[in-house]
Structure 1
Amino acid sequence: MGLGTFAGISCVSRKSGANILLRIFSIMLVAAALSGWLSVGLAQAQSYQFNRIEVEGNQRIQTGTIATYAGIERGRTISAGELNDAYQRILNSGLFESVDLIPQGATLLVRVVENPSINRINFEGNRRIKDEALEEFIESEPRRVFSPAQAEADANTIAQAYAQQGRVAATVTPRIIRRSDNRVDLVFEISEGDTIEIERVSFVGNRVYSDRRLRRVLETKQANFLRAFIRADTLVEERIQFDRQVLRDFYLSRGYVDFRTISTNVELTRERDAFFLVVNVEEGQQFKFGQIRTSSQLSEANAQDFQNVLQIKPGVVYSPTLVENSITRMERLAIEQGIDFLRVEPRITRNDRDLTLDVEFVLTRGPRIFVERIDIEGNTTTLDRIVRQQFRIVEGDPFNPREVRQSAERIRALGFFENAEVNAREGSTADQVVIDVNVDEQPTGSLSLGGSYSVNDGFGVAIGLSESNFLGRGQRLSFTASTAEDSEQYSIGFSEPYLLGRDLQFDLDLGVAETDSSYATYNTDRGYFTPSLSFPLSENSSIQVRYGYAFSEMVGREDVTTGNVIASEIGFGKRNTSTVGLTYTYDSRLTGLNPNAGVLFEIGADYAGLGGDNEFIRSRVRTIAQTMVLNEEVTLRATVEAGALSWKGSNFSRTLDRFLLNPDFIRGFEPGGIGPRDQSNGEDDAIGGNYYAVARFEAEFPLGVPEEIGLRGGVFYDVGNLWDLSDANTAASGNIVGANGSLRHVIGFSLLWDTGFGPLRLNFSEAIKSESFDKEQSFDLTIQARF
């Protein structure tokens, strides 16, 4: 029974399988037929052939222009994909709001709706940036076709402009207002938001230099209470990138050759109203120069001659600038010796054991490449020769890449250009190069207006005009006028830095003044005419030769009585003085071995007697030395200067001719407060002296207050003397004091305040040794001078 059951089941299974196979076969036949029919239909639906293209809806755009955008050839079979590409090309032209392609047999109908034209552009909600400035940022313009994509791009550009001012929350929304004749007004709705400033700049990883010292290096600053006038405290990405390079240069110049900036992180405060800037650095070790050698691979170049021009000594802190300066000296010597194409290759060997860098200067022969020409573009105002004067090479000279880089720096230092790029490219042959100079002019003139009031002079107005690139010739021209009730002064200055195309500077200053002296009982009338020539003697020194012609007169005041000496000098009337002078200047800061120290030395003399009424020799000498200690937190400065007047004429000298000291020379006293005085007739007139000598010693240091306040402290000690009245009309008075002189000693404390208006210095002083007739002054406020 089991077998029969099994046989019956098997029989039924074979019948069912045959039916299933038959059905599958039938379905496959039907599917094949349908597939062929669909393929034929789809192929017919996706193929087009147009003999004509018609356009509807266009008003300003020509039909031919639209057909060109479509790019469909008449009579050629195209697919649906190609038809879609034509649609995209027309739409992406930015000229149309909508595009429809409608096949009509052998004709393609293109139906378009043109974008409107821009009637005008308005800005709403902007207060910090004026409309005129915003118009410079955008590319959309009136009377052009409106493009939504361009409007969005312009909105982003405006938002970036606000971000550069620290308003990163500013939003800009472009909107349109429909007008007749398919025109629109484009309106940028601006929400400026608040300024988000940098609340704190901090450093991680610095061990040698404090955060305070490094912050002084950066261009980016912390916000302070003068933020309304200072814009350096806003977050600008380009400025941060610049600060990274400046920070690296700072450490490299101090021997930290392994220094690197690991990261700069910017975070919003919890209140989202300010930024924290954190700079993560790795200082490394400080290296000094080890052995300094020079070797030559050229028979005509004596290595010892080139070694002798080096100023680097072992033990000096390593600086790439010193290496560059040494190479420049060597290349200059090669030019003097007539050795062309000499190249100096510095090979540096690192000694980690003693933290030194050995430098071997290898004299090699560089490639024989010449300068074919120098092309200058972009200088719409400045003459070509002004730019060419910054090059030490001309067409036909051997090409020196280092000299080209230095020339680029000199061009930028002119201050005439907003941008200046100098690049070298291959010339007409492989052994020639063309130097391309591309510059963007910037304004070089300035106008200053000011007012003043004093008890002596009353109200006054000051006007100043200055142009540093007069007529594009690189010349300086300035005019100043200051008027008050009892004081007037007018002056003109002119300077030609390259007289006759040479490194010879010509200066001319002339002016007239009627002033009321704040420390004397007389007025003065003055006029002067002073041309001068200056030229360098070396990298650090220069000479100035000058001529001066001046007239001066002491004028009595009706409401003031004077001592006998001043009264007699008033009676001398007007005197003319003709002088020739010479000044020698040495400044080690130009190429000094120590970036934290420098010395300025000046000595000069003027001889009067080439005509005029006076004959004398006036000489002066001044030395200033400065250094920074305690990881550059404290600045030490010492100044020593002296002057002498040797009268040669048969007439008497006047107070105008002698020296009168003011607080710039010795603090703690009024102008004319020390030195010889005439106390006749119950008066107390400062009458100056023939000799003076002063020394000033000071230290500046941080006070520990928040740096954004901008306050530093200082202490100073001044000592000085003013004496001698030889050749003065002292016989006119029987009551002269201080002619023999005596040393005055002053100590004091200073507050140095970096404000948005300039660096101010407040001096609180106490004279610890003075004379009874001196005029002391315990406080003065000055604009801090920079050394």
Structure 2
Amino acid sequence: MLNEAKDSPFRVNSCKVNGTKFTKKSLIEKQLNSLFQAKTLKEILEETESICGKLNRLGIFKDLGVNLDVPKSKIVDNENEVDIIINLKEKPRFWARTGTEVGNNEGNLNASLNLRNPFGKGENFEANASYGVDSTTIDRDKEISKLLPIKTQRNSIYKLCYTSPINGNPDRIFETVASQMNMSHSIFSSFNEFSNNLGFKFRKITPFGLNEYGYIASWRQINHIGKNASFSVRSEAGNSFKSSVYHRYIKDTRDDSMLPSRGSLFKFYQELAGLGGDIQFIKHEAESQWNLPLGRGYSLSSSFRGGLLLPLMNSRTRINDRFFIGGPLSVRGFHQYGIGPKDGKDVIGGDTYWATGLSLYAPLPRLANKPIKTHMFINAGSSILLNQKESLSENVNRLIQTPSVSTGFGLAVKFNILRVELNYCLPIAVTKTDDVKKGLQFGVGLSFM
């Protein structure tokens, strides 16, 4: 019956929302404005679905339901009118959470306190504390690694965050973040980094992707220099202040973000530092991935990542702004950040890099519908420090002429919140500074090459 009448002229007589207690009336009204512009039953149903989607994305409601009813009292009798009743419940305003999270080779213990919808317009306050242990199979001390093959570094992050939808639109978000971070890099280099940060972000979600524009003010300190640290690391010790603006774009059409079989991903990031402070650079980074289903559970995946960091005003690049590649999540067959410039045993990062990968995924017998697959892969990448005395072509030649390459096979398993890989890796092209990991390699993370 609804299908027969979907193109018939209809209008909304009234719309009522039940269940709001703390939410401002103006926030709800902004979501409902388009509903009264609908001219057919089909348009009314589409607009109602869109409104419920927006209310749900605000993150302050639950148990949304919609009823359509015939107006009970009308001055003029018109059968082509309908009343909309939206029933919902407000989520608790205050909530706390403790738990563990696993990211890219990192496990975190965290606790957060949240105040939801404090002013009735969809805002959120969050206070978060995180204590992390970053583990890897880097064997910087070969004797110790025989006894302790997995070493760890401890990180801590404290963050205050305020988010607010602009004009009640969940696809237009303003965010303010203040954070303090203490990050240990002792696994691959002889220093720690401490920073105090203040940032402002504006996020806009459209059918064409997500755009984020932001400003970051960051006071950074390179400290806890190791007693055997290289000169390159020692020269970075001390304070710096970065003031920068950035833009991030993401378009993701993959069917699964962690173990995809079809679709594509595009990411672009640009940052300009030098709006005050003593750090001046322009930074570009891009990432892409294409996934092609081959039928019967087989799929082909190709990935590419690349970045460029250019100092401005005769300055130099800093180790905490450079790029680091290599490891089970990027170029397999090498230790974490095991590709690129080094000084002694310290990884010092590159000003430019590229990395690429090609993987063939296949289902396991009797487990074709499970989130576990075998794969064969080939990865390659390179990272260098730019030499200002060399020409552009000379720098490009250094970047592409001696890539680090590996191949191998293994298992990829998707869990609810992460992906796990166990691979056998065979490096087939290396440079003299590479930290090679031949044989079995274990990786845990969210995003793999």
| TM-score, normalised via structure 2 length | 0.76
| Selected match of 1:650 from 290, 314, 322 | 314
Alignment of 1:458-537 (within 5 A): 462-466=110-114, 473-483=121-131, 487-499=155-167, 503-517=171-185, 518-536=187-205
Question: What CA distance in whole angstroms lies between the structure 2 residues aligned with 1:764 and 1:776?
Answer: 13
Question: What CA distance in whole angstroms lies between the structure 1 residues aligned with 2:191 and 2:401?
Answer: 24
| Selected match of 2:233 from 566, 569, 573 | 566
Aligned match of 1:748: 408
Question: What CA distance in whole angstroms lies between the structure 1 residues aligned with 2:172 and 2:55?
Answer: 17
Alignment of 1:148-227 (within 5 A): none
| Selected match of 1:661 from 325, 338, 342 | 325
Give per-residue Cα distances to partners, 1:98-154, cap 9 Å, x unaligned. xxxxxxxxxxxxxxxxxxxxxxxxxxxxxxxxxxxxxxxxxxxxxxxxxxxxxxxxx
Q: Which amino acid aligns with 2:229?
A: T
Asked whether the equivalents of residues 569 and 654 of structure 1 are also in contact (C-alpha less than 8 Å), the reply is yes
Question: What CA distance in whole angstroms lies between the structure 1 residues aligned with 2:119 and 2:164?
Answer: 12
| Selected match of 2:376 from 701, 709, 715 | 715
SS at match of 2:272: strand
Asked whether the equivalents of residues 582 and 605 of structure 1 are also in contact (C-alpha less than 8 Å), the reply is yes
Aligned match of 1:435: 84
Question: What CA distance in whole angstroms lies between the structure 2 residues aligned with 1:531 and 1:511?
Answer: 12
Aligned match of 1:780: 442
Provide the identity percentage.
Answer: 20
Give per-residue Cα distances to partners, 1:592-650, cap 9 Å, x unaligned. xxx9732222223111111111111001112121232214x123222112110010033
Aligned match of 1:17: none
Alignment of 1:606-617 (within 5 A): 606-617=271-282
Aligned match of 2:348: 687
**2:67 pairs with 1:423:** yes
Q: How far apart are 1:406 and its partner, in Å?
A: 3.3
Q: Which amino acid aligns with 1:372?
A: N
Asked whether the equivalents of residues 412 and 419 of structure 1 are also in contact (C-alpha less than 8 Å), the reply is no
SS at match of 1:519: coil
Question: What CA distance in whole angstroms lies between the structure 2 residues aligned with 1:671 and 1:532?
Answer: 30
Asked whether the equivalents of residues 353 and 399 of structure 2 are also in contact (C-alpha less than 8 Å), the reply is no
Distance 1:516-1:727 versus aligned 2 partners, 3 A rule: farther
Aligned match of 1:186: none
SS at match of 1:423: strand
Q: Which amino acid aligns with 2:429?
A: K
Aligned match of 1:675: 340
Q: Which amino acid aligns with 1:378?
A: G
Asked whether the equivalents of residues 281 and 317 of structure 2 are also in contact (C-alpha less than 8 Å), the reply is no
Question: What CA distance in whole angstroms lies between the structure 1 residues aligned with 2:92 and 2:360?
Answer: 39
Q: Which amino acid aligns with 1:435?
A: I
Q: Which amino acid aligns with 1:773?
A: T
Question: What CA distance in whole angstroms lies between the structure 1 residues aligned with 2:252 and 2:176?
Answer: 23
Q: Which amino acid aligns with 1:419?
A: D
Asked whether the equivalents of residues 723 and 740 of structure 1 are also in contact (C-alpha less than 8 Å), the reply is no
Q: How far apart are 1:671 and its partner, in Å?
A: 2.3
Q: How far apart are 1:512 and its partner, in Å?
A: 0.9
Distance 1:626-1:419 versus aligned 2 partners, 3 A rule: same
Question: What CA distance in whole angstroms lies between the structure 1 residues aligned with 2:56 and 2:171?
Answer: 18
Distance 1:755-1:568 versus aligned 2 partners, 3 A rule: closer
Give per-residue Cα distances to partners, 1:37-60, cap 9 Å, x unaligned. xxxxxxxxxxxxxxxxxxxxxxxx
Question: What CA distance in whole angstroms lies between the structure 2 residues aligned with 1:761 and 1:596?
Answer: 16
Question: What CA distance in whole angstroms lies between the structure 2 residues aligned with 1:544 and 1:770?
Answer: 37
Looking at CA atoms only, which structure, 1 or 2, has the larger radius of gyration? 1
Q: Which amino acid aligns with 2:443?
A: L
Question: What CA distance in whole angstroms lies between the structure 1 residues aligned with 2:156 and 2:364?
Answer: 42
**2:405 pairs with 1:764:** no
SS at match of 1:504: strand
Asked whether the equivalents of residues 118 and 124 of structure 2 are also in contact (C-alpha less than 8 Å), the reply is yes
| Higher RCO, Cα 8 Å, sep 6+ | 2
Question: What CA distance in whole angstroms lies between the structure 2 residues aligned with 1:569 and 1:786?
Answer: 30
Question: What CA distance in whole angstroms lies between the structure 2 residues aligned with 1:597 and 1:617?
Answer: 34
Asked whether the equivalents of residues 370 and 398 of structure 1 are also in contact (C-alpha less than 8 Å), the reply is yes
Aligned match of 1:378: 19
Aligned match of 2:392: none
Q: How far apart are 1:392 and its partner, in Å?
A: 6.3
**2:47 pairs with 1:403:** yes
Question: What CA distance in whole angstroms lies between the structure 2 residues aligned with 1:697 and 1:556?
Answer: 39
Alignment of 1:235-384 (within 5 A): 367-380=8-21, 382-384=23-25
SS at match of 1:760: strand
Distance 1:500-1:759 versus aligned 2 partners, 3 A rule: closer
Asked whether the equivalents of residues 652 and 727 of structure 1 are also in contact (C-alpha less than 8 Å), the reply is no
Question: What CA distance in whole angstroms lies between the structure 1 residues aligned with 2:244 and 2:65?
Answer: 45
| Selected match of 2:264 from 595, 599, 609 | 599
Question: What CA distance in whole angstroms lies between the structure 2 residues aligned with 1:618 and 1:451?
Answer: 30
| TM-score, normalised via structure 1 length | 0.45
Question: What CA distance in whole angstroms lies between the structure 1 residues aligned with 2:354 and 2:38?
Answer: 51
Q: Name structure 2 gaps, 5 residues minimum.
A: 133-152, 390-397
Alignment of 1:75-90 (within 5 A): none
Question: What CA distance in whole angstroms lies between the structure 1 residues aligned with 2:131 and 2:210?
Answer: 36
| Selected match of 1:620 from 265, 277, 285 | 285
Asked whether the equivalents of residues 382 and 473 of structure 1 are also in contact (C-alpha less than 8 Å), the reply is yes
Q: How far apart are 1:740 and its partner, in Å?
A: 8.6
Question: Larger strand proportion, structure 1 or 2?
Answer: 2
Question: What CA distance in whole angstroms lies between the structure 2 residues aligned with 1:547 and 1:404?
Answer: 36
Distance 1:498-1:715 versus aligned 2 partners, 3 A rule: farther
Distance 1:782-1:476 versus aligned 2 partners, 3 A rule: farther
Question: What CA distance in whole angstroms lies between the structure 1 residues aligned with 2:351 and 2:55?
Answer: 45
Distance 1:489-1:503 versus aligned 2 partners, 3 A rule: closer
Alignment of 1:92-103 (within 5 A): none
Question: What CA distance in whole angstroms lies between the structure 1 residues aligned with 2:117 and 2:422?
Answer: 36
Question: What CA distance in whole angstroms lies between the structure 2 residues aligned with 1:470 and 1:598?
Answer: 39
SS at match of 2:83: strand
Asked whether the equivalents of residues 173 and 202 of structure 2 are also in contact (C-alpha less than 8 Å), the reply is yes
| Selected match of 1:448 from 80, 90, 98 | 98
CA RMSD between the two structures: 3.7
